[in-house]
Amino acid sequence: MKKIYLSVIVLLGIFLLSGCATYRQQLALNMFDVRLGMTREQVVEILGRPSMVVSAYTEENGDLIEVLEYVRSETNSLTEQVEARPIWTYFVNNELFEWGPGENWETDAAFRRAILDRSKDYQHNRSRR
């Protein structure tokens, strides 16, 4: 009876640990599917609903800027500490041109200008290929 009980506990432990590894692997795989030039809808289809909209603004020239935040939580199975990792996706006129770790910028005119400048650099570099 003790062998059966011990076997069940070991199998349960293996199952739980493999579940954590699968979750982390799935998060990484989702980010590998994201590509520059995707629409907002395509990114949401891959990553799911964003945690929040950091900024949405229409410039005087008509450019629509959107910054979406995805927060991915990872739990260390040994320490049980949860780490939140924000990822920001940057869209100009519904086209993804950049993503990366969340910023601590205020969403003011300088923030929007920096996004537009980076977007124009991206468009320029893409057109030269």
Query: Can you read off the two tokens belonging to residue 104?
Result: 């601590």
Looking at 7-111, which runs of residues are DSSP E strands? Answer: 52-58, 64-75, 82-92, 95-101
Query: 3-class SS at 78?
Result: coil
CB 94 within 8 A of CB 58: no
Closest residue by Cα to residue 87 from 79, 74, 58: 74
What's the pTM? 0.62
What pLDDT band is residue 28 in, cutting at 50, 70 and 90? very low
Sequence ranges of the domains in the chain: 1-32, 35-127
Summarised one tens digit per residue, pLDDT across range 62-86 is 999 999 999 877 777 777 777 778 8
Q: What is the CATH number of domain 35-127?
A: 3.30.1450.10
Q: What is the largest CA-CA distance in the chain?
A: 75
Query: Can you read off the two tokens belonging to residue 30?
Result: 């989702």
